[in-house]
Chain A
């Protein structure tokens, strides 16, 4: 192995050559196909190692593994929830169900915002760097302290990101600032981000919380069948009719 060659490569990548040296190196490279190939592989090897050993890659793999497990567990749980009943037990179960249902029906005729709103955990600040207000907003949001979250969001200078707008809007609904929340949500809804359908869902919930049931229904009907909250929306629609 020509050791000198690789020491030169390293020097070149670290910008440690004089202008003359660099010119000569590039000249040599152009006229030597084998050296060129080694240079390309050397460059790719560096990129490969950088990705392989990056702490971000490790964090991604870990997170992916956890999410993947969660989704697998969900499936298994659904499958195992089958309990065999004896015939008379069906009768008892049915009457209990009717009584419980009736009780719930009389308790709350109108479905409540709180029954449906279950925002995901906010995770828009990954590292400690960046806007301190954002970090505060995230912490307050996850602690369900929406008043504090709203106050912190208000201090953030750049709120163009739909993810931020989405969590800000939920905080606003929770603190009864509906008008402002709906402006943000409508903005997300007309965009192309993954929060698009989520925004529609929360527009419906915002109206539900204000007891504007007709408006709520209109938004619910706009949710596409493949959206995450579609099933909940159908259930809510049935209850509102």
Chain B
């Protein structure tokens, strides 16, 4: 499918996707200390590091689950760059914080930059969808949530005490509403799709 070669570290992506505790632990032992160290030497503490790391791992999981994620570079470099950039963004946001950066001027391999970029684009999109979902009416949120948590639309109808036909129509209209809110947002237009 893709001409680019899959990196053997894909096993970490699969491990996250399968919620494999042994692999998640390995990630924490092998790759996390370096990230923590970086954040600690750049105006952060252990708790902040922990949050950044968790958010990045969830983003990787989401991307793998939603679109599939084919790793073409070492996991270590990819994960580190994602965490680092996320932390720098955090620092920028809370600008009242005194920022002292210790940046090692290493050149980053192209494949790593490309993978990181892909994941960040995915994350931007994901957070836009999430933001818009929160803006939907309560009823729509409930119907959509139920139609993905519940196995069949018949069961959803039963739970909401409405007819099957109604729930199906409601689901498509709510998704439609979400679609239009996303389409009209300025953020959607600036997404690097």
Contact = CB atoms under 8 A, between A and B. Distances in A.
Interface string A1-37: 1010111011000000000000000000000000001
B155 interface: no
Interface stretch (B23-31, B77-85, B95-103, B105-113): B23-31
A48 B175 CA distance: 11
A6 B181 CA distance: 14
A121 B25 CA distance: 12
A63 B24 contact: yes
A123 B12 CA distance: 16
A67 B28 contact: yes
A68 B26 contact: no
Interface centre among B28, B148, B176 (most CB of A within 10 A): B176
Given A7-B169, A54-B65, A60-B16, A123 B176 contact: no
Contact of B149 (A7, A51, A53, A72): A53
A228 B148 contact: no
Interface residues of B, number: 53
B32 A10 contact: no
A45 B129 contact: yes
B130 interface: yes
A71 interface: yes
A65 B57 CA distance: 11
A41 B182 contact: yes
Contacts of A50: 66, 148
A64 to B, nearest CB: 6
B129 to A, nearest CB: 4
A1 B176 contact: yes
A-side interface size class: 35 or more
A235 interface: no
Nearest to A55: B149
Interface in B161-178: 168-169, 171-173, 175-178
B23 A6 contact: no
A110 interface: no
B57 to A, nearest CB: 6
Interface of B: 8, 11-12, 15-16, 18-26, 28-30, 32, 46-47, 50, 53-54, 57-58, 61-62, 65-67, 125-126, 129-130, 133, 144-145, 148-149, 168-169, 171-173, 175-180, 182-183, 188
A61 B60 CA distance: 12
A193 B129 CA distance: 36
Contact of B29 (A38, A41, A56, A228): A228
B23 A126 contact: no
* 8 closest Cβ pairs, A-B complex: A6-B176, A10-B172, A53-B148, A48-B129, A6-B172, A60-B19, A41-B179, A51-B66
Nearest to A71: B28
Contact of A72 (B11, B12, B19, B46): B46
A67 B21 contact: yes
Contacts of B53: 68
Contacts of B30: 226
7 contacts: A45-B129, A49-B133, A49-B144, A52-B130, A123-B20, A123-B22, A126-B18
A42 interface: yes
A194 B188 CA distance: 39
A75 interface: yes
Contacts of A241: none
